[in-house]
Structure 1
Amino acid sequence: MDRATRIGCAIGAAIAATILAAGSGPAAAATVLDAKTVTITSALNDVGEPYYNPGDAYIQVSEVVADNFSATDVALSSNGGTATAASNYQGSDYTGKAIDGIYPQEYSDIYHSAGTGTGEFLTISFSSPEDLSSLSIYGRGTTGSPSCCTERDVYNYSIFNSAGALITSGQLDARNLDHVATIDFDAPGGVPEPAAWALMIGGFGLAGAALRRQRAQVAA
């Protein structure tokens, strides 16, 4: 390997290392394509202290907002979204309050499960499969104000396609004064991952070095 090639390789490797280091933080969110349903359960029993209380793991949700890449909330009932749940607190049907577009809200203007067991869930279905840009879950309470039972506002979410296959899942923690937690998803065909950029730039360095070597040989 001649000097020009070695220099090209070194430059490519240095740039690649810089990009990889910059991209070594949290992994990018999933790309969520053709989503049809979102199922939400309580994560209170998963997070442990300081809020661990198995008997208090109710699901309480002021609103579920699922935006597509046209900034349309496809969970909203007026956009065709529907909500079902394993139970409703005190026998009243609160499921529609999770997709009515009014949030943040206090009880009794929220969805509230009747039980705290592992069988409790809230499922939001879209009118058609959607590519999602973000998912937000609003807990119990109004913005900037403490609320009763805020410790309950931590959720497991699972997103499924129309065939019932899991696309992605995770946890959202809305135990804050804004009573909301959001995850953003990657756009379809988004920018390459840092590792891909590193490989491309390293390849450019090698190609440039080879071209300079070829020109030097022709000149000789």
Structure 2
Amino acid sequence: MKKILAAAALVSAFAIGSAASAATLLVSVVGPDAGTFEIDSNPTPYGVYVDPYYHQDHFFVHVSNQTGFFDEILGVSFFSSGGAIIQYSNADYTPLTGAKLFTGSVNNPFITIGSFMAEDADGFKYSITISNAPAVPEPASWAMMVGGFGVVGGAMRRRQRVSVSFG
């Protein structure tokens, strides 16, 4: 009975596991307005637009785990020819010109890892660093790991002792 329960627990831990999502990237912005936030490395654009003012394609993504910054960030728009706009929840924004921060198209972007320099409309310099965010195991991974330790411990406890005699 105990073996059946242990097997059922292990199978349910595997069944709970889900496919991992895209890698999370940590974006650090240093300049007159500074802080960090996280985005997916292969984000699903919330919207794809042709901006009449900037005359270029761009896509908008939401951010998570924001720290710093003067105002809460709603999201970031990445331009196809380079640069980005940090959009705040109070309808304010900071346009930054500089290097292209993604590869692929605006419909299927891949955010580029590295350090970039940018400048706002007033000539203030910004440093943007995009790196991999520290990985935290998903709850299903923890369940599988703990279940695996339990199964191995149970197998070690119940195995037959072998004695060797010479003579």
User: TM-score category by the smaller chain?
Assistant: 0.3 to 0.5
- In the superposition, the TM-score normalised over structure 1's length comes to 0.33
Q: Which has the higher strand share?
A: 2
Q: Which has the higher helix share?
A: 1
- Larger RCO: 1 or 2 (CA < 8 Å, sep 6+): 1
